[in-house]
C-alpha cells in the first residue's frame, strides 16, 4: 500500500511540474520581449506608432492654442518675482508662486519637498582703480566669498594670465590683489579660474583676487558665479571684473605701470535655510511607480531676471506636462516635473532629492534637465547604454517635422549628474546656445534674451520625448 501511494504521488508531481513549465512558457510568449532581446527593427516599429501623437504635441505647442504659452508664463513669473538667489526671500516667493501656478494648472500631486540650502548675501560692493588713473571697476562678488574689512582693501595689483604664471611669479604675490586675465577657451575649462582662483591666489600670499568674467563677449558686463575655498587655505575676498577692465590692467602691467585698487565687499555667508524642490506630476496609467523626470532649476543669481538661467528650463518642464494634459494623454509611467532649489551653489537641492529618492532608483526610467538655455533646439545630449541610445535615436526621429533629430553623447546637468553616474539614463536639451555665456550670471539675463517661437519648439521636444519614453512597453535598458 505504501509503494502504490509513493508511485501515485510521483506521478502527480510530474504532472504538476509539466503544467508549471507550460504556464511559464505561455507567460513568456504573452509578455513583450525586453529591449535587450528586441531587434532594432522591432523597436523602430514600436516607436513609429507614436508619430501621430508626436505631431499632435508639436501642433499644439508650435501652432495651436498653447503657442507662446511657456514664454508668457516665464515672462509673468520673472517680471513678478525677479532674480532668486539661494537662501533669499525672492526664492521663497518664487517657490510659492510656482506651487500655486502648478496647482491652478490642474497638474497632479503638486507638492514641495524640504531641503536645506546655502544663504550667501552679496552686500554693498565696489572697486576703484586709484593708479595709474582713477577708474571705477564694474564688479560682481562671487558666491561664498568673504567680505573685506570694513574699510576695504587697498593694494597693488599683480596681473597674471594663468595659474602657471601665478606659480612662476609666486614670490611677487604677497600682499597684492591678484587679477586673472585668463582667455576664454570654453566654459568647462575657463570656469576653473572662477571656482578656485581665490584659493590659488591666497596660497601665494595675495590679499584678494579679481577674476576676468567667464564669458566670450562683454559690453562692460561682469558675470558672477559660485566659488569654492580649499580647506586649510586662507579665505580672501574674490569678485569678477569685466573683460575690458581685465585686459586694460594687463596692458598697463605689460608697460610696467604700477596699478593700485581699492576693493570693498560686504559679502557674508549666513546659516543654511529651509527651502523646497517643487514637484508636479501626471500619474502613470499602468506603472505609476516608474518615473520619467523632467527638470530645470528655480533659483538664479541675484542679478538680471534669471530668465535664461534657468527660468526657461523650468518653464518648458512645466509646459511639457501641460501639453500632455491638454491632449488628454496619460502615459503608462508617471511624468514628474521637478523644479530644483539651489542649483547655483552646486546642485544642493538636487543632491538632497537624490538622497531622498535613490532607494527607488530602479524605477527611474529617464532623467531630463534643461539648463543651457531654451534657444532654438538642435537635439538632445544623452547618457545611457548602447541599447538605450538606439531607442532614443528612434524617439528623436519623431521630431523630424521640426528638424530636431540629433542625439549626441554626454547628457549634461548639475542636477541630474548623480542619477547618470548611478546608471540611470539621462538627457539634456541641446540648443543653438552660442549666446548663452554672453548673458550667463549677469545683469543681461532678462526676458529680452528669450524668444517665444524658440521656447515653443523646446517645449514640443521636451513633451514628445518625455511622453513617448514614459509610454513605451519597457523601461529604457540600463
My answer on whether omega of the bond before 101 falls inside 30° of 0, hence cis, is no
Residue 10 is assigned to a structural domain of this protein:
no
What pLDDT does residue 40 have?
87
One domain for residues 84 and 136: no
Beta strands 333-340 and 153-160, pairing class: unpaired
Residue 31 is assigned to a structural domain of this protein:
no
What's the predicted TM-score (pTM) here? 0.92
Output the domain CATH number for residue 440: 3.40.630.10
Among candidate residues 343, 344, 394, 412, the one labeled active-site is 343
One domain for residues 437 and 338: yes
Judge whether 343 counts as a catalytic residue. yes
Nearby residues of 14 by Cβ (< 8 Å), 6 or more positions away: none
Residue 9 is assigned to a structural domain of this protein:
no
Give the bridge partners for 111, in sequence order.
279
Q: Of 233, 266, 299, which marks where a domain is finished? A: 266
Residue 2 is assigned to a structural domain of this protein:
no
One domain for residues 219 and 333: no
Nearby residues of 307 by Cβ (< 8 Å), 6 or more positions away: 74, 75, 78, 445, 446, 447, 449, 450
Using alpha carbons, list the distances in angstroms from residue 346 to 98, 227, 253, 357: 22, 10, 35, 19
One domain for residues 284 and 415: yes
Nearby residues of 198 by Cβ (< 8 Å), 6 or more positions away: 142, 145, 209, 227, 229, 235, 236, 237, 238
Residue 246 is assigned to a structural domain of this protein:
yes
One domain for residues 129 and 51: no
Torsional class of 38: left (φ above 0), alpha (ψ -120 to 50), beta (otherwise):
beta
Q: Of 235, 266, 297, which marks where a domain is finished? A: 266
One domain for residues 242 and 296: no
One domain for residues 114 and 132: no
CA distance 291 to 421: 17
Residue 7 is assigned to a structural domain of this protein:
no
What pLDDT does residue 34 have?
73
Closest by Cα among 93, 68, 58, 186 to 450: 68
One domain for residues 114 and 236: no
Residue 168 is assigned to a structural domain of this protein:
yes
One domain for residues 328 and 461: yes
What pLDDT does residue 14 have?
54
One domain for residues 366 and 464: yes
Domain housing 243: 123-266
Q: Of 266, 297, 323, which marks where a domain is finished? A: 266
Structural domains of the chain, count = 2
One domain for residues 412 and 459: yes
Residue 210 is assigned to a structural domain of this protein:
yes
What pLDDT does residue 36 have?
75
Output the domain CATH number for residue 244: 3.50.30.30
One domain for residues 101 and 234: no
Q: Give me the residues of the chain with pLDDT under 50, please.
A: 1-13, 15-32
Amino acid at each position: 500500500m505504501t509503494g502504490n501511494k509513493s508511485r501515485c504521488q510521483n506521478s502527480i508531481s510530474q504532472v504538476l511540474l509539466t503544467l508549471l513549465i507550460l504556464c511559464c512558457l505561455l507567460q513568456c510568449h504573452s509578455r513583450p520581449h525586453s529591449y535587450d532581446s528586441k531587434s532594432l527593427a522591432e523597436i523602430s516599429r514600436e516607436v513609429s506608432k507614436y508619430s501621430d501623437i508626436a505631431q499632435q504635441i508639436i501642433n499644439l505647442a508650435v501652432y495651436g492654442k498653447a503657442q507662446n504659452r511657456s514664454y508668457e508664463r516665464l515672462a509673468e513669473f520673472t517680471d513678478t518675482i525677479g532674480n532668486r538667489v539661494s537662501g533669499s526671500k525672492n526664492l521663497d516667493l518664487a517657490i510659492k508662486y510656482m506651487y500655486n501656478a502648478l496647482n491652478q494648472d490642474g497638474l497632479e500631486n503638486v507638492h514641495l519637498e524640504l531641503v536645506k540650502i546655502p544663504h550667501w548675501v552679496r552686500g554693498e560692493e565696489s572697486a576703484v582703480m586709484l593708479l595709474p588713473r582713477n577708474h571705477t571697476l564694474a564688479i560682481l562678488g562671487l558666491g561664498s566669498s568673504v567680505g573685506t574689512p570694513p574699510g576695504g582693501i587697498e593694494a597693488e595689483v599683480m596681473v597674471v594670465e594663468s595659474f602657471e604664471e601665478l606659480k612662476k611669479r609666486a614670490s611677487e604675490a604677497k600682499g597684492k590683489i591678484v587679477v586673472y586675465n585668463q582667455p576664454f577657451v570654453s566654459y568647462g575649462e575657463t570656469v576653473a579660474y572662477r571656482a578656485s582662483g581665490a584659493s590659488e591666489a591666497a596660497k601665494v600670499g595675495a590679499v584678494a583676487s579679481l577674476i576676468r568674467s567667464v564669458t566670450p563677449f562683454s559690453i562692460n558686463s561682469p558675470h558672477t558665479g559660485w566659488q569654492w575655498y580649499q580647506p586649510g587655505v586662507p579665505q580672501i575676498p574674490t569678485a569678477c571684473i569685466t573683460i575690458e577692465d581685465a585686459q586694460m590692467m594687463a596692458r598697463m602691467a605689460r608697460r610696467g605701470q604700477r596699478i593700485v585698487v581699492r576693493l570693498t565687499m560686504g559679502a557674508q555667508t549666513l546659516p543654511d535655510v529651509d527651502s523646497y524642490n517643487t514637484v508636479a506630476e501626471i500619474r502613470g496609467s499602468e506603472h505609476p511607480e516608474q518615473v520619467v523626470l523632467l527638470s530645470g532649476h528655480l533659483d538664479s543669481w541675484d542679478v538680471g531676471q534669471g530668465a535664461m538661467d534657468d527660468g526657461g528650463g523650468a518653464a518648458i518642464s512645466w509646459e511639457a506636462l501641460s501639453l500632455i494634459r491638454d491632449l488628454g494623454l496619460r502615459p503608462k509611467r508617471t511624468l514628474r516635473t521637478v523644479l530644483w532649489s539651489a542649483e547655483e551653489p552646486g546642485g544642493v537641492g538636487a543632491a538632497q532629492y537624490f538622497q531622498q529618492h535613490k532607494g527607488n532608483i530602479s524605477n527611474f526610467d529617464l532623467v531630463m534637465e534643461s539648463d543651457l538655455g531654451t534657444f532654438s533646439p538642435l537635439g538632445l545630449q544623452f547618457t545611457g547604454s548602447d541599447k538605450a541610445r538606439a531607442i532614443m535615436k528612434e524617439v528623436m526621429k519623431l521630431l523630424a517635422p521640426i528638424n530636431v533629430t540629433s542625439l549626441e553623447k554626454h547628457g549634461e546637468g548639475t542636477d541630474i549628474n548623480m542619477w547618470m553616474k548611478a546608471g540611470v539614463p539621462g538627457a539634456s536639451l541641446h540648443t543653438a546656445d552660442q549666446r548663452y555665456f554672453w548673458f550667463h550670471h549677469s545683469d543681461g539675463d532678462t526676458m529680452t534674451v528669450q524668444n517665444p517661437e524658440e521656447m515653443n519648439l523646446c517645449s514640443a521636444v521636451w513633451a514628445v520625448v518625455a511622453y513617448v519614453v514614459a509610454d513605451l512597453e519597457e523601461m529604457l535598458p540600463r
